[in-house]
A and B are shown apart, each in its own frame.
Chain A
């Protein structure tokens, strides 16, 4: 099983450029999440999604948009990148209530630098 796959692994943008970070999971999970992690800091929740077509804001949603077009995929878009968005971005997914553990599975991250 691939688990949670994020693309790209690395990206460098110039201020003002736009891009979309892709995330896909093959575990038939309902819930998906986007976190960012600044150097030496903890994880901060950007957006999350309970199911296809639904999304909710997390702790730091400003400057981002998300799209949950189907159960597998949850994308994160930066419309106009800023240096403050330089960070490592992690996508995660979780199974439904009742599934043993209900644990979060994380991708390996996308390292984004905005110059």
Chain B
């Protein structure tokens, strides 16, 4: 199973951009990169996903390296509500059924007022 590695924690200030890195050096050509976040005392929620091109949605942007061995989740203007644990996972698009979706430790993001 392709794995991801993320820093354990990061800190930023309110209203500043935040760049959360994820390394996935063993990624295969059919792996999608998914990001989830977990707010305190809640289950994780989907943030964004991509395959090769950079992606934007209302929550965040995803920048994918040209060799796909790393990616960065970008929060353009962090708010206190963005304080959470962020997980980067890989999902093989070839597989129809369920597959091992391994979350790892994630990055705990602290936002300072």
Chain A interface (Cβ < 8 Å from any Cβ of B):
4, 30-33, 35, 41-45, 48-51, 54, 56, 58-59, 90, 92, 94, 96-97, 101-109
Contacts and interface: CB of A to CB of B under 8 A. Distances in A.
A97 to B, nearest CB: 5
Contacts of B106: 42
Contacts of A45: 100-103
A103 B46 contact: yes
B105 interface: yes
A106 B44 contact: yes
B83 interface: no
Contact of B44 (A48, A102, A104): A104
B8 to A, nearest CB: 10
Contacts of A97: 93, 95-96
A59 B104 CA distance: 11
Interface of B: 32, 34, 36, 42-46, 49, 85, 87, 91, 93, 95-106
Contacts, number: 71
A30 B98 contact: yes
B40 to A, nearest CB: 12
Contact of A42 (B43, B96, B97, B105): B105
A43 B98 CA distance: 17
23 contacts: A35-B103, A42-B103, A42-B104, A42-B105, A43-B87, A44-B103, A45-B101, A48-B100, A51-B97, A56-B98, A59-B100, A59-B102, A92-B43, A94-B98, A96-B96, A102-B91, A103-B49, A104-B44, A104-B46, A106-B45, A108-B42, A109-B42, A109-B43
